[in-house]
């Protein structure tokens, strides 16, 4: 199939709308007509050149939704015409990770996915005679994409794809960080560092879990109103006090919060988030992805005295099983999705979408 795709020819360059050729799906692969895609900071991170796994030229994008166009040999879980969300964390159901209820990090195709190719080691994309790499096993910045059959979730055909595409990463990640990874309890006190899409989803998860106090933290005060709509009880800026933000939070909450979440990818903020937790039982979850080579630090005494430091990927959801349920929860108004959408742009304005994201809009 010949179609349009946004190709990243090199690090730090704007995306270029090109005609690409998308090969048919091979065995255990699915070709999807992408109807809608969102942009995420992870796409921008790889585009910037900071991602050690980044390879160019590549078709980025990992928050998409679409319709199955065709399937390769041996595909049984989906068929032509099914409504689907591609998954950057697959679920094969067979590896030791999939069989362990404690994790969602399926490793079946991890190595090839990290190299920007399909499980057989080749690409399905070509442009101007050149092979184009895949991204995160999804490459949703293309009108058609090919994914492994374990990297696709069949969802309710009635779901609006321009909304539920967000369940492919950001909303699911933040919401799951609260309900799966931290297991926020009713009546607890939470703080969320970074009030972008993922931070708002964490706030939503904390509220649904019954937290009594949710403190949003961001230097951009334009984000406070939206955070309160999602359930933040108050918002503060680290720039409004001479004291470190963790000290401010410890004072505000009589010893620290029960749960804290870092949704930025800043190692200094990760330390602050841990140290804002209450002695004895506080849990801090790292949700943001820090740049390559960065390290976290704190005094071991913080952990000796009963704090827990955790991390989460895709909110701990086992993807094939959970994404259809998240779509159902949205359709039954249990979780918000529409409220996360700020702008809807035509595909050829994709660079504008990145500009809006970088400017905090």
* pLDDT of 305: 98
What's the pLDDT band for 53 if we cut at 50, 70, 90?
A: confident
pLDDT tens-digit series, residues 233-263: 999 999 999 999 999 999 999 999 999 999 9
pLDDT digits (tens, 9 = 90+) for 91-109: 999 999 999 999 999 999 9
Q: How confident is the model at residue 360 (pLDDT cuts 50, 70, 90)?
A: confident
Q: Measuring CA to CA, how many Å separate 293 from each of 12, 136, 267, 350?
A: 19, 20, 11, 29
Mean pLDDT of 221-239: 97
Query: Where in the chain is CATH 3.40.50.720?
Result: 173-313
Tally of residues, the chain: 361
Contacts for 22-26: CB closer than 8 Å, 24+ residues apart: 22/124, 22/125, 22/142, 22/144, 22/145, 22/146, 23/124, 23/125, 23/126, 23/146, 24/70, 24/72, 25/70, 25/71, 25/72, 25/75, 25/124, 25/146, 26/72, 26/73, 26/118, 26/120
Determine contact, residues 303/309, Cβ cutoff 8 Å: yes
Q: What is the pLDDT of residue 239?
A: 97
More confident call, 273 vs 360: 273
Question: Is 2-168+318-359 CATH 3.90.180.10?
Answer: yes
Chain-wide mean pLDDT for the chain? Answer: 97
User: How much is the pLDDT for 195?
Assistant: 97
**Which residues touch 315 (CB under 8 Å, ≥6 apart)?**
172, 173, 174, 175, 176, 177, 179, 180, 181
pLDDT band at 291 (very low <50, low <70, confident <90, very high): confident
Residue extent(s) of CATH 3.90.180.10 domains in the chain: 2-168+318-359
**Is it true that domain 173-313 has CATH number 3.40.50.720?**
yes
21-30, 50-59, 247-256: range with lowest mean pLDDT: 50-59
pTM greater than 0.85 (yes/no): yes
Is the predicted pLDDT of residue 70 greater than 90, yes or no?
A: yes
Check pLDDT > 90 for residue 267. yes
> What distance in Å separates the CA atoms of residue 245 and residue 257, rounded to the nearest whole number?
12
Q: Say if residue 51's pLDDT is above 90.
A: no
High-pLDDT (> 70) share of the chain, %: 100
pLDDT at 277 exceeding the cut of 90 = yes
The DSSP-derived string for 198-242 is HHHHHHHHHHHTT-SEEEEE-S-GGGHHHHHHHT-SEEE-GGG-S
């Amino acid at each position: 199939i010949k179609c349009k795709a946004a190709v990243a020819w090199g690090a730090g360059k704007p995306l270029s709308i090109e005609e690409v050729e998308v090969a048919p799906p091979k065995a255990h692969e699915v070709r999807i007509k992408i109807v809608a895609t969102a942009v995420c900071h992870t796409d921008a991170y790889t585009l910037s050149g900071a991602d050690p796994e980044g390879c160019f030229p590549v078709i980025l994008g990992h928050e998409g939704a679409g319709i199955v166009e065709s399937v390769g040999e041996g595909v049984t879980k989906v068929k032509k015409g099914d409504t689907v969300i591609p998954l950057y964390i697959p679920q094969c159901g067979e590896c030791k990770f999939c069989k362990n209820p404690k994790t969602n990090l399926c490793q079946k195709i991890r190595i090839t996915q990290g190299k920007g190719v399909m499980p057989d080691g080749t690409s399905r994309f070509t442009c101007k005679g050149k092979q184009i790499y895949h991204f995160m096993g999804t490459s949703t910045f293309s009108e058609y994409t090919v994914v492994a059959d374990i990297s696709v979730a069949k969802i309710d055909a009635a779901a609006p794809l321009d909304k539920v595409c967000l369940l492919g990463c950001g909303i699911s990640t933040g919401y799951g960080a609260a309900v799966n990874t931290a297991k926020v309890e009713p009546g607890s006190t939470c703080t969320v560092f970074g009030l972008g899409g993922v931070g708002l989803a964490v706030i939503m998860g904390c509220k649904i879990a019954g937290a009594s106090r949710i403190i949003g933290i961001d230097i951009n005060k334009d984000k406070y109103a939206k955070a309160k709509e999602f359930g933040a009880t108050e918002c503060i800026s680290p720039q409004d006090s001479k004291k470190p933000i963790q000290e401010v939070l410890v004072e505000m909450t009589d010893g620290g919060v029960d749960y804290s979440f870092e949704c930025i990818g800043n190692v200094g903020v990760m330390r602050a988030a841990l140290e804002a937790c209450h002695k004895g039982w506080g849990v801090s979850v790292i949700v943001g992805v820090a740049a390559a080579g960065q390290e976290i630090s704190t005094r071991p005494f913080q952990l000796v005295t009963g704090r827990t430091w955790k991390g989460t990927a895709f909110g701990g959801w086992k993807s094939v099983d959970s994404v259809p349920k998240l779509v159902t929860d949205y359709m039954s108004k249990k979780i918000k999705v529409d409220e996360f959408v700020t702008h809807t742009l035509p595909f050829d304005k994709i660079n504008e979408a990145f500009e809006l994201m970088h400017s905090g809009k």
